[in-house]
Amino acid sequence: MDNANPVVYARTTERPITPGMLNEDLADQFDAREVFDLIRVINDPEHPLTLEELGVVSEAAVQVDDPANQISIEFTPTIPHCSQATLIGLSIRVKLIRSLPSRFKVGVRIAPGTHNSEEAINKQLADKERVAAALENTHLLAVVNQCLGEMREH
């Protein structure tokens, strides 16, 4: 385990349901909070905590441009030599592939200066073919699915 005692952050409260959200005549745009809500519940591969609780992802690090179909996410590994950074990035990408309309172009990157192998990992995450190949690997897919599954018991 890379980081045996990570700092644990508080969870964000659930997004309140406004009357506008229930009004069928109004269309809701995709925004950063919505995308953040998708990825904040991803489980950490090592700890029984979510990425939000570990501070790996934050709403501020999510940028959404709905009209331009662009989404950009930066995540922060808990320590600079975190060996699970690639897996976390892959999990975020897979979760968004499964949860967002295909019209969006999603970029997942490590926040600048937060990891020793930042460039390599960013390159790996940006490479569609490598992501696709990784998902062909049943073992890796099982690990990713474990991250995306229901929260484990503490």
Contacts with other proteins, residue ranges (CB under 8 A): 1-2, 4, 17, 21-22, 24, 27-28, 34, 37-38, 47-48, 81, 83, 95, 98-103, 145, 148-150, 152-154
Least distance to other proteins from the beta carbon of 142, Å?
10
Question: What phi and psi, each to the nearest 5 degrees, are found at residue 76?
Answer: -120, 110
Q: Closest distance between other proteins and the C-beta of residue 123, in Å? A: 21
User: Whole-angstrom Cα distance, residue 77 to residue 75?
Assistant: 7
Residue 130: what are its φ and ψ, rounded to 5°? -70, -35
Q: Cβ 114 to other proteins, closest distance in Å? A: 17
DSSP 55-110: TS--GGGEEEETTTTEEEEEE--SSTT-TTHHHHHHHHHHHHHHHS-TT-EEEEEE
Whose Cβ is closer to other proteins: residue 1's or residue 120's? 1
Q: For the CB of residue 47, give the shortest distance to other proteins in the complex, in Å.
A: 6
User: Between 91 and 122, whose beta carbon lies closer to other proteins?
Assistant: 91
Nearer to other proteins, 82 or 125 (CB): 82
Residue type, 72: S
